Amino acid sequence: MKKILTVLFCMTMITTIFAQRGRGSGEVKWLSLSIKGGFGGSLLYNKDVMSDKNVKLNFSPAYSFGGRFGITYGDHVGINIEPTISNFGEVYSISDNTNGVVPYVKTQKLKSFDLFVSLRYISDYGFYVEAGPQFSTMKSASVKNDPSNLLFTDENSVNDYKTNFADKFTSIAAGMGFAAINGDRVQLFIGLRGAYAFGDLNPDYHVLNDGVYHPTTTFTAKTSPITLKLMAELNYFFGFWGDATCGKGRMMFFQ
């Protein structure tokens, strides 16, 4: 919460600076709301897991949906707050013929609530770049092993699997794209966005040490979620803040 308040304070200061620069110059602050979604892939990066010769990482889907509130100064610079629900995880293929471990697949599925606070620059031609911090809260976590007839300790229904993961984590996210539709009131943006999380997602849990497979490596490296998604965003400008000739600001909404 302190991190979010700090970022919001900094963005408020930036907003004030832009407002002061625009006051008296006729620069308009546009207000917008968006719905958006994304689909791509995720990786729970851990160098100890990746160095285990008996483990192969498979494609793991990542998707998200949510909204965005934005303030755009003039035609180019925007400040945005974007709440989303995100799903990500990892899929491991595990096989250890030397120790008689039957090949199996372990699938982790994680869900988080994300708050992405960003600065976005949009060119005259509709191309954009964006970057900022993303604050995430873990909402749920599950694991499934296939085949399931083996004795997996991490599938114990008595324990809440989510307790193996950090409740909150922070990422840096950045993206770029273009406006497929770039109207005066409505825009449709298509782009790519990547995110990398700092810290350790599961500091006291070894995902491979599940009672069936005994890892060949130690587990001291941190686990950092990485996602890359294709994003689609439908943006609607619902109002603006303009400066009157007397110097006083005035908010107006479109009919």
Domain-embedded: residue 25: no
| Alpha-carbon distances of 24 from 243, 244, 245, rounded to whole Å | 6, 8, 7
What's the mean pLDDT in 192-207?
A: 93
Predicted confidence at residue 11, as pLDDT, reads: 54
Domain-embedded: residue 15: no
The listed range with the strongest mean pLDDT (8-17, 36-45, 141-150) is 36-45
Q: What is the pLDDT of residues 84-105, one digit of tens each?
A: 999 999 999 999 888 888 899 9
CA Rg value for the chain: 23
Domain-embedded: residue 58: yes
Q: What is the pLDDT of residues 8-32, one digit of tens each?
A: 555 555 555 544 554 444 567 889 9
Give the residue from 139, 34, 123, 36 showing the smallest Cα distance to 74.
Answer: 123
What's the mean pLDDT in 126-142?
A: 96
Tally the domains of the chain. 1
Rounded CA separation 63/111 (Å): 10
Domain-embedded: residue 80: yes
> Has residue 37 got a pLDDT over 70?
yes
Q: What is the pLDDT of residues 74-85, one digit of tens each?
A: 888 999 999 999
252 in Cβ contact with 240 (< 8 Å): yes
Domain-embedded: residue 129: yes
> Has residue 249 got a pLDDT over 80?
no
In the structure, what pLDDT confidence band is assigned to residue 219 with cuts at 50, 70 and 90?
confident
Mean pLDDT for all residues in the chain: 87
CATH number for the domain including 199?
Answer: 2.40.160
Domain-embedded: residue 99: yes
What's the mean pLDDT in 180-204?
A: 94
Q: Which domain holds residue 115?
A: 36-241
Domain-embedded: residue 9: no
Domain-embedded: residue 45: yes
> Has residue 118 got a pLDDT over 90?
yes
What's the mean pLDDT in 241-245?
A: 62
